Chains A and B, each alone.
Chain A
Amino acid sequence: MTDNVTTLLNFLPQLWEGIQTTLILTIAGSIGTIIIAIILGLAMTSPHAWMRIPARIVVEFFRGTSLLVQIFWLFYVFPLLGVELDPLMCGIGALSLNYGAYSAEVVRSSIKTVNPGQWEAAIALSLSPARRMIRVIFPQAWALMIPSLATLLIQLLKGTAVVFFITLSDLTDKIQQLRQSTGDTVFAFTVGLVIYFVIAWLIQELMNLLERQATKRLGRRRPNSRSDRREARRDARAESKRDAGATTVSGPSSGNVGYGGAL
């Protein structure tokens, strides 16, 4: 075990490089995902079929063909078409397209969930279609879509491990190296998984923060927020106490009533 720790300590600089690659892929991929999701998601809510149908086809295409197929396509087929992409760009591109397609559906359904009265009020004020979307509809849809986006961005983080197959040295690759130099699979992979888990936790916290901000702007509290739950627990406790008190007090008296009724 001490050997393992020494090896790990010596390995830290390389491990950090791998983490950086994973983080770059995650961050750039997330940005790409959100841009693609907004473009395709908005197109899918368009009243014009010529925007809606192509967007729907693109979304179903990238959702239906697997991430690994997409990344291999960019990596192996694009050069044959005369387009050389470096592996990092392949990774970012495939992650953005794949998770962007999934997220587009989230964007679309969130926009559709916004109360139709909001659209109507915006039309009644003669706001232009762009202004309606940017100022009225999207800010409200945004608050709705964050939880699902958080799930998808964590999936994206997990998906970044595929770049290991196209020669990129990300965290997964470094874990492999650590395994080889320690000869201890369980140690190396536990370290690796914990690092992934921490990054996922950071993403979740960041998205929670964004969600709190977004719902605050809507003048609402986030449903089921931590403070809500704490309050609910306190209420429940107070109530159970009251109930407990009530039964001991009312027990005999209700007995009396029952007795009187029987008479």
Chain B
Amino acid sequence: MTWNWEFAAEALPILLQGFVNTLIATVVGTVIAAILGLLIAVAIRTLPRWINWLVRLLVAFVRNTPLIVQLMFVYFAFSDIPGLVSIPALAVGCIVIGIHYSTYMSESYRAGIDSVPPGQHEAATALSLPPVRTFTAVVLPQALRATIPSLGNYAVAMFKDTPFLFAISVVELVTSAKQFGGSTFAYTEAFTLAGLIFLAASYPTSLLIQRLDKRLATY
């Protein structure tokens, strides 16, 4: 078995088509996770004790169970509902990936909020700022600085988890590689290229986040 450049050339455009879905899932998933993660972090700080406990249990549950199983769960549960207009698998994928990673990102937000010195909070209170304003104008902007690199790392992790959308037959990068391999038996070229595309996208991004982390940390 040797490397066949013709197959590789044939596979590349097909893979890149699949890659579009990979990118969509990553970007939409990140947006959902970033917003929902913040909401969860704020909820855990403000909700009364008993419901707080419930939220935390739910977060732990989503975080500690497989994304693949969650994808299948939601996808099949929706398709079971009679009369419902079928939701595209990619949309389900974006939502579930977003929810899954929001449980991780909420933890980053929590750490970021905790890293804001209590003096900031006290100073804002001394100025009689209302609590909501204190949070949005004083605490949050400072917390985000500490949070953003960590959110970036989770976005990269999410990117590498998008192949799990295979489970609900979204044709993303790896699925298209598998389909190409299935029809031509050029598995070597297809999967190697798929891996290289992942590497080419994720490694530079990770380096970028590292640099961002260092720059933000100097403030």
Direct contact of A and B (CB under 8 A): yes
Partner among B163, B188, B206 whose Cβ is within 8 Å of the Cβ of A68: B163
A residues in contact with B178, CB < 8 Å: 72, 76
Name the prevailing secondary structure of the B interface residues: helix
Q: Do residues A69 and B163 form an inter-chain contact, with CB atoms below 8 A? A: yes
B residues in contact with A175, CB < 8 Å: 69, 72
B residues in contact with A185, CB < 8 Å: 73, 76-77, 80
Interface residues in B, total, Cβ within 8 A: 39
Q: A76-B181, A161-B69 are in contact. Are A189 and B77 (CB under 8 A)?
A: yes
A residues in contact with B198, CB < 8 Å: 64-66, 69
Q: Which residues of B contact A (CB under 8 A)?
A: 1, 60-61, 64-70, 72-73, 76-77, 80, 160-164, 166-167, 174, 177-178, 181, 185, 187-188, 191-192, 194-196, 198-199, 202-203, 206
Partner among A72, A176, A200 whose Cβ is within 8 Å of the Cβ of B174: A72
Q: Do residues A77 and B191 form an inter-chain contact, with CB atoms below 8 A? A: yes
In Å, the complex CA distance between A186 and B78 comes to 10
A residues in contact with B192, CB < 8 Å: 73, 77
A residues in contact with B203, CB < 8 Å: 60, 64
User: What band does the interface of chain A fall in when counting residues whose beta carbon is under 8 Å from B?
Assistant: 35 or more
Q: A189-B73, A197-B61 are in contact. Are A80 and B188 (CB under 8 A)?
A: yes
Give chain B nearest CB distance to A17 CB in angstroms. Answer: 17
Q: A69-B195, A82-B1 are in contact. Are A172 and B68 (CB under 8 A)?
A: yes
B residues in contact with A119, CB < 8 Å: none
In Å, the complex CA distance between A261 and B38 comes to 50
B residues in contact with A121, CB < 8 Å: none
Asked whether any CB of chain B lies closer than 8 Å to the CB of A41, the reply is no
Partner among A69, A154, A164, A193 whose Cβ is within 8 Å of the Cβ of B194: A69
